[in-house]
Structure 1
Amino acid sequence: MSKIALFGAAGAIGHSIAAALRAQGRPYRVVGRSRQALAANFGADPLAEIVTWNPDDPDAVRTAASGVDAIVYCVGVDYSKFELHPELMRKTLDGAVAAGVPRMLLIGTVYPYGRPHTTPVREDHPREPHTFKGRMRKAQEDLLLAAHAEGRIQGTVLRLPDFYGPGVDKSFLDRAIQAATRGGAADMVGPLDKPHEFVFVPDVGPVVVRLVDTAEAYGRVWHLAGAGVTTQRELYEEIVRQSGRRPKLRVAGKTLLRLAGLFNPFMREMVEMHYLVTDPVLMDDSALQQLIGPVGKTPYPEGIRQCLQAAQATVRS
């Protein structure tokens, strides 16, 4: 079995992939800037090899990539610094090629598509990003796919929709989950009744592990869709039903996001991506399932149950 290095392992998706590798008894490498953070997250797992990197140091990148058969790239950046995405990808690609890594899988987003022309969206949908963040994500993808076309490395992209899961705080649903367990208001970004989809983070890891080991996966883009089309309001009502509490619902539209952005940099950065709530990109992942077989997707009620359970455990501790 190939050894996989997770660049950006400390995030939610990295944890999911690590869990899938652990379930198979496969050794893996976790790569990040902070050894302390990596040790806190993976130090108890004897299968995890901890390696730090400095993307600005070519030798450090090459060392972090040496001796693995594939890199799964899920490096995150601050929401206000998306210009770093192509820059970090270029540096990582150069180091991976220098180290002789055969394959790389990028965890991508729907941002490069821009506003959808069709519903659902297949992988051959035009990439026409009208936002800065979309252009940066497209540039990141282009670097990897160009390296594949040039024969420097085998590259592929797995695009995900919005996600949620136990302990995942960067989710549209997290504030409602926290309000249902800790009290306070459920702050959400609306409108809430538009179609939407979410992928449950623990479902991602097994798909990534299967995809990275599939030779036919490389040289193109794949989709992993959520567990069906829903709405944020439906999921809020599911949180209410399961928790037995109805926290006050505060919904921020684009105007309120813009006003909040005068004081909150993160809210300011969300304004340009608000179209994803009003004009959602709903994904078709039939091609992925034809390639690797049926994909397990946790139903929304069960995903909400696990999120609430994890949040309640945090309260008790």
Structure 2
Amino acid sequence: MNYIFGTGPLGMAVLRELLNRGQKVKVINRTGKADIPQGVEMIKGDARDRNFTKEICKDAEKIFHCAGLPYSDWSDHLPSIMDGLIEAAAFSGAKLIYADNLYAYGPVNVDYHEDLSYKPIGAKTKVRAQVAENLLNSHQQGKIKAVIGRGPDFFGPRALVATLGSRVIGNLLLGKKAEAIGNIDLPHTHIFIEDFARGLVTLSENDGSLGQVWHIPAAPTVSTRELIEMVGDEIGKKPTYRVATSQIVNVLGLFDKNMREFKEMMYMFNKPFIVSHAKFAKAFPFQVTEHREAIRKTVDWFRKYIGNM
């Protein structure tokens, strides 16, 4: 039995991938509510509650950690969520697959690869490094079997708050300007959410992946502007832009909590952000979704979403 903690866009993409492979899945979130397919069991619960996670996951074979929180809650709650899921995996003997981002590395001047040291520059990069180290230490100590799959900025169905989400694709569909961040002419790796999910499931099915960090493959890196222009091509309209520079983000942060929290991450948008997945590509057969096909699927989902609003 597969257990997915978190029903955000990535958790739901993992759910779809597992169902496509004919596997049984249960999903858990704090509200007990989500738009899930018929026949999938929805469970209400808090991953921070170790007694709950141990009891609910006692028959688990795989536990996917896709739980997300607002930036402002990371320092207080991400460590306890990881602790709860580590306890569940230790109790059940399940593999624990952690869907991570690349924040722990901090800013670098090379392509991002798995052998980089962690160099946090603030609270959010620090806590991501902390929980990843906790997970791998638990594996190395023999307490659990774990693997980390990392992806850069993702986009795709349900990813409303992604950098290529509502403020870009949604706005363009509504005839508004695309709202982007940083220097959009620099190369910036983005991953299609379905590829991210498929990569996580691939890691879960290969014991040789355990105890390691893996960067999930993405289509070749292009600039953010090039991706937005592809969105425009799909929609049939030339994009216009409203771009938030670091200075604008700093000002907006005086009034907007989310922007205030985001300032720490601006380094990713002010210099080339290129992610290597050579390690994964060498180890596992994997076909990425080309950008235009990924954008076509994403725009199609956004059209339906906006039409139902």
Q: Shorter chain as normaliser: what TM range? A: over 0.9
Deviates more, 1:249-258 or 1:60-69: 60-69
Gap regions ≥5 residues in structure 1: none
Q: Deviations over 1:82-108 (max 9, x none)?
A: 1121222112212332x3233111111
Q: Which amino acid aligns with 2:3?
A: A
C-alpha distance in structure 2 between counterparts of 1:314 and 1:111, whole Å: 30
C-alpha distance in structure 1 between counterparts of 2:114 and 2:63, whole Å: 22
Residues 1:215 and 1:192: Cα distance change in structure 2 (over 3 Å): same
Q: Which amino acid aligns with 2:135?
A: L
Which residue of 87, 95, 113 maps to 1:103?
95
C-alpha distance in structure 1 between counterparts of 2:273 and 2:148, whole Å: 17
Paired residue secondary structure (1:125): coil
The answer as to whether partners of 2:157 and 2:301 remain within 8 angstroms in 1 is: yes
Alignment of 1:88-99 (within 5 A): 88-97=81-90, 99=91
C-alpha distance in structure 2 between counterparts of 1:162 and 1:179, whole Å: 19
Q: Name the residue aligned to 2:78.
A: 85
C-alpha distance in structure 1 between counterparts of 2:306 and 2:48, whole Å: 39
The answer as to whether partners of 2:183 and 2:271 remain within 8 angstroms in 1 is: no
The answer as to whether partners of 2:10 and 2:197 remain within 8 angstroms in 1 is: yes
2:295 aligned with 1:297: no
Q: Deviations over 1:136-167 (max 9, x none)?
A: 00101011111111111011111110010123
Gap regions ≥5 residues in structure 2: none
Aligned length: 306
Alignment of 1:192-211 (within 5 A): 192-211=184-203
Q: Deviations over 1:186-215 (max 9, x none)?
A: 211021101101100112222222210111
C-alpha distance in structure 1 between counterparts of 2:188 and 2:293, whole Å: 17
Which residue of 46, 50, 60 maps to 1:54?
46
Alignment of 1:149-188 (within 5 A): 149-174=140-165, 175-188=167-180
How far apart are 1:221 and its partner, in Å?
A: 0.6
Which residue of 252, 259, 269 maps to 1:260?
252
TM-score by length of 2: 0.94
Which residue of 219, 223, 229 maps to 1:227?
219
C-alpha distance in structure 1 between counterparts of 2:72 and 2:272, whole Å: 22
Paired residue secondary structure (2:218): coil
2:11 aligned with 1:14: yes
TM superposition outliers: structure 1 runs of 4+ over 6 Å: none
The answer as to whether partners of 2:121 and 2:264 remain within 8 angstroms in 1 is: no
Which residue of 289, 302, 306 maps to 1:315?
306
Q: Name the residue aligned to 1:25.
A: 22
Q: Deviations over 1:35-86 (max 9, x none)?
A: 1x23xx22x332x222222234332121222101111111111111211212
Paired residue secondary structure (2:242): strand
Which residue of 127, 136, 140 maps to 1:136?
127
Deviates more, 1:10-19 or 1:306-315: 306-315
The answer as to whether partners of 2:145 and 2:210 remain within 8 angstroms in 1 is: yes
Q: Which amino acid aligns with 2:78?
A: H
C-alpha distance in structure 2 between counterparts of 1:314 and 1:102, whole Å: 36
TM-score by length of 1: 0.92
Deviates more, 1:56-65 or 1:222-231: 56-65
